[in-house]
Amino acid sequence: MNCTHGADRFCMVVSEMIQSFFVFWIISVHSPNAMKTTANILIVDDDRDVLETARMFLKQEFTHVEIEEDPNKIPAMLRKKEYDVILLDMNFSKGVNDGEEGFYWLDKIMQHDENAIVILITAYGEVDLAVKAMKKGAIDFVLKPWKNQKLLGTILSALELRRSRRQVFQLKETRTALLKDVNHGYEDFIGQSPAIKRVKELINKVARTDADVLILGENGTGKELVARAIHQRSPRREEVFINVDLGALTETLFESELFGHVKGAFTDAKQDKAGRFELASGGTIFLDEIGNLSVPLQAKLLTVLQNKEVMRVGSNKAVPVDFRLVCATNMPLYDMVFEQKFRQDLLYRINTVEVRLPSLRERIDDIPLLVRHFLQVFRKKYQKPALEIHDGTLKKLQGYHWPGNIRELQHAVERAVILSDKDKIDSVELFINTATSSKAHASQARTLDEMERDFILESLEQNHGNVTQTAKALGLTRTALYRRMNKHGI
């Protein structure tokens, strides 16, 4: 720029302005999404000039802007992609200004998604029609020709409304899931045996991390209790805990329940539904009985766990999810991997840390504590506040094998409280109907697997936990012994 001496200061200011403009232009070119609002915007209008003008302006403000002249393409576009805001013209045929075409396509959009955010594009004389359309689901309208800042403000307000609607929808879905789960409250562990102390120590270590956890143990040992303990001690404790019993899900319901579905995905899909992974986002999801999944379903689950995103049934849009994963099973997963009944890559994915729960017969010293705890619970429930249990009866209960573990013990105490006619329970038969309380008789009633498990435990104890010496004493290789230990949850 050539300047006279008297205009030097003016030239300097203008020069700086031009340099600032080019710096801003360079940044915009090299960072096309810089300072843009993330949103998918669709504009449908039969006037090409209107579409191009709107696109040129809105692409400066939003990350994705699409335009379309033919409203007949709307259904296909909605099936292919989800739009945050749709700007829809009221009339598409020349000489027509009754707004009926706008009403028709508005209905089509709302049928596809009742929460769609639609802004009408209308001429000044069609304001009454636009107000009528708002009663049918549109959220606002803009007049042609519009002022850019007015259009921008309307779209930004619409995006805020969409965000609020999504939050409300997710809260409703989460509340529904929590109401189903409300009776399964968290309780702390009861027990002082060495076996349960080791479990508590491991829980305290792993809970502070976000590592995936696999809980192994027999039925009734308290696997869900461990999962809840991990959640309650984790940084996600203020977020939701979602419990999924995979053993109760049929193959046809698996994807819909875990991944969700969109309206119309199948016959009974009357509305969009978030899956359990979406509901658990931010919190913890507990997949119980994971060993019951078929191999094809294992593959689908693995994809979600690896990518941390789900795709609802009937949709091709991936939804990112953030959850802490805890799984549990009573199945011998390592043997199932060897038999090709469980995917090895899925096992590696879910067992960053393993928690093995002892059976009740491995922690018989805890039985009196557990009995007294359950007694206190059921005395209150059945209004028998003076009821006590005889010390001799407690001793006999420690001699029973308890194949159903803590769950069986809990039910036994409840039965005894219900059936007792005295203030002190002194008959073991009130607890156990079909077996005697002697260790010898319980031992005779054991299965071969139970006997093998106990024999391995006794051998490990005799060899002070040394696996090599134990394997040699049993005439097994270390690998064979480890396989049997995994099988029995040792």
What are the DSSP calls for 78-146, one per residue? Answer: HHH---SEEEEES--STT--S-HHHHHHHHHHHHH-TT--EEEEE-GGGHHHHHHHHHTT--EEEESSP
> 150 and 240 share a domain?
no
More confident: 184 or 407: 407
Find, among 332, 301, 327, 300, the residue nearest to 211 by Cα: 327
Does the structure show a pLDDT above 50 at 17?
no
Question: Tell me, what's the pLDDT at 410?
Answer: 93
> 206 and 322 share a domain?
yes
Given a contact cutoff of 8 angstroms between Cβ atoms, the answer to whether 158 and 136 are in contact is no
> 352 and 366 share a domain?
no
| 222 backbone φψ class: left, alpha, beta (φ>0; ψ -120 to 50) | left
Last residue of a domain, one of 356, 391, 419: 356
Does the structure show a pLDDT above 90 at 308?
yes
Which one of 105-114, 172-181, 449-458 scores highest in mean pLDDT? Answer: 105-114
pLDDT digits (tens, 9 = 90+) for 367-425: 999 999 999 999 999 999 899 999 998 998 998 889 889 999 999 999 999 998 888 99
CATH of residue 123's domain is: 3.40.50.2300
Between the alpha carbon of residue 272 and those of residues 111, 250, 313, the distances in Å are 12, 20, 10
pLDDT digits (tens, 9 = 90+) for 60-78: 999 999 999 999 999 999 9
pLDDT above 90 covers what percent of the chain? Answer: 48
> 95 and 203 share a domain?
no
Last residue of a domain, one of 321, 356, 391: 356
* pLDDT classification of 356: cutoffs 50, 70, 90: very high
CATH of residue 338's domain is: 3.40.50.300
* 343: containing domain: 194-356
Does the structure show a pLDDT above 70 at 141?
yes
> 471 and 436 share a domain?
no
Q: Classify residue 92: in a domain, yes or no.
A: yes
Distance CA 389, CA 367 (A): 13
> 247 and 305 share a domain?
yes
Does the structure show a pLDDT above 60 at 435?
no
Question: Tell me, what's the pLDDT at 124?
Answer: 67
Q: Classify residue 351: in a domain, yes or no.
A: yes
Does the structure show a pLDDT above 70 at 184?
no
Last residue of a domain, one of 304, 339, 356: 356
Q: What share of the chain is helix, strand, coil (3-state, %, to 5)?
A: 55, 15, 35
Average pLDDT over residues 264-273: 81
Burial class of 250 by CB neighbour count within 10 A (0 to 12, 13 to 18, 19+): exposed
pLDDT digits (tens, 9 = 90+) for 226-254: 999 999 999 999 899 999 999 888 888 89
Does the structure show a pLDDT above 60 at 193?
yes
Average pLDDT over residues 5-17: 45
Between the alpha carbon of residue 270 and those of residues 6, 114, 266, 267, 312, the distances in Å are 76, 11, 9, 8, 14
> 156 and 83 share a domain?
yes
More confident: 454 or 10: 454
Does the structure show a pLDDT above 70 at 447?
no
Question: Tell me, what's the pLDDT at 8?
Answer: 52
> 283 and 223 share a domain?
yes
The number of distinct structural domains making up the chain is: 4
Q: Classify residue 18: in a domain, yes or no.
A: no
Q: Classify residue 177: in a domain, yes or no.
A: no
Question: Tell me, what's the pLDDT at 23?
Answer: 37
Q: Classify residue 22: in a domain, yes or no.
A: no
Please indicate, yes or no, whether the overall pTM of this predicted structure exceeds 0.85: no
Average pLDDT over residues 292-319: 92
> 338 and 224 share a domain?
yes
Average pLDDT over residues 134-148: 86
* pLDDT classification of 448: cutoffs 50, 70, 90: low
Q: Classify residue 429: in a domain, yes or no.
A: yes
* DSSP code, position 465: T
> 332 and 383 share a domain?
no
Q: Classify residue 1: in a domain, yes or no.
A: no
Does the structure show a pLDDT above 50 at 221?
yes
Does the structure show a pLDDT above 60 at 21?
no
Question: Tell me, what's the pLDDT at 283?
Answer: 94
Question: Tell me, what's the pLDDT at 178?
Answer: 60
Q: Classify residue 222: in a domain, yes or no.
A: yes
> 265 and 143 share a domain?
no
Q: Are strands 388-389 and 424-425 parallel, antiparallel or unpaired?
A: parallel
- Return mean pLDDT, the chain: 83
CATH of residue 454's domain is: 1.10.10
> 381 and 402 share a domain?
yes
Does the structure show a pLDDT above 50 at 20?
no
Does the structure show a pLDDT above 70 at 36?
yes
Given a contact cutoff of 8 angstroms between Cβ atoms, the answer to whether 255 and 299 are in contact is no
pLDDT above 70 covers what percent of the chain? Answer: 85
Given a contact cutoff of 8 angstroms between Cβ atoms, the answer to whether 85 and 117 are in contact is yes
